[in-house]
Amino acid sequence: VGREARVFSAQTEVTDELELLPTYAVAFSGCQLRCDFCVTGAASWNARVGEVWEAGKMEARVQAAVSGGARSVMVLGGEPVLHLTAVLELAAMVPEEVPLVLKTNGGLGREARGFLGGVIDVWLPDFKFGNDRCALRLAGVDDYWAIMTKNVEWMAREGGGALVVRHLLMPGHLECCWEPVARWLSSRMAGVRVSLREGYVPAWKADRHPELRRWVSGSEMERARQVAAACGLELVP
Ligand code: SF4
């Protein structure tokens, strides 16, 4: 992604998990995945978009947001972990009593795990795909399942913060993606809290894939919730 971290958005948001809202969300440009349905594709696929990260300027904005009522600070992307130094600088400027949330696609390497363990208050991994085939076809990534499950287990065991696992429901991907993720969470992550996101929109390059050209149907949402209930998962609003 280059030497400079860039931020394509920094603002207070109210569309994430209820317990974190309002959150001051700082979004870094660039991502190592290439999800064709990425709603922030233009910035997430291009690490050169946005303003250059300057810790001093951001500290003033974080303080203003917290004074204005933000209950948490969320770092996201693209993939924020690609900008490890900037993420650590951000962590240092967030007041002790304000939770720092890391929203990540889960592709953490050993170095990132080493630096971020004990620093993040709420881990928010986005567990998108239930198998390597869909991950390769829709996001151009290899070995997705092994990397994701290893990192989610690490977050639960050694991450040092709370864990909420996200899954974005995609049209036509209940059986291949949501069900394996739900079953794995149920069998390996007893008591984990899960955020089942139902706001998929056919954005960016989604029309490359026929099944992604529509919204998730009401019956798919209902079936997805039934899967969660059958697996005994605790869904967070
Ligand atoms: S992981 Fe997230 S930010 Fe990266 S390409 Fe996929 S949807 Fe976009």
User: Binning pLDDT at 50, 70 and 90, where does residue 1 land?
Assistant: low
State the pLDDT at residue 21: 92
Enter the pTM of the model. 0.96
Query: Residue 24: beta bridge partners?
Result: 12, 73
Give the three-state DSSP class for 229: helix
Confirm if 168 and 128 have CB atoms less than 8 A apart: yes
pLDDT cut 70: percent of the chain above it: 99
In the reported structure, the alpha carbon of residue 200 is separated from the centroid of ligand 1 by a whole-number distance in angstroms of: 13
Rounded average pLDDT over 132-161:
97
Q: Is the pLDDT of residue 14 over 90?
A: no
Q: What is the pLDDT of residues 179-222, one digit of tens each?
A: 999 999 999 998 999 999 999 999 999 999 999 999 999 999 99
pLDDT digits (tens, 9 = 90+) for 24-67: 999 999 999 999 999 999 999 999 999 999 999 999 999 999 99
The residues with which 75 forms a beta bridge, in sequence order, are 26, 102
Q: Which of 6, 7, 40, 141 to mutate to test the pocket of ligand 1 (most atoms within 8 A of CB)?
A: 40
DSSP string, 117-159: TTT-SEEEEB---SSHHHHHHHH--SSHHHHHHHHHHHHHHHS
Ligand 1 centroid from CA 67, angstroms: 30
Q: What is the mean pLDDT of the chain?
A: 96
Average pLDDT over residues 66-80: 95
Q: Does the Cβ of 29 fall within 6 Å of ligand 1?
A: no
Give Cα separations from 4 to 46, 52, 91, 94 (angstroms).
12, 7, 18, 21
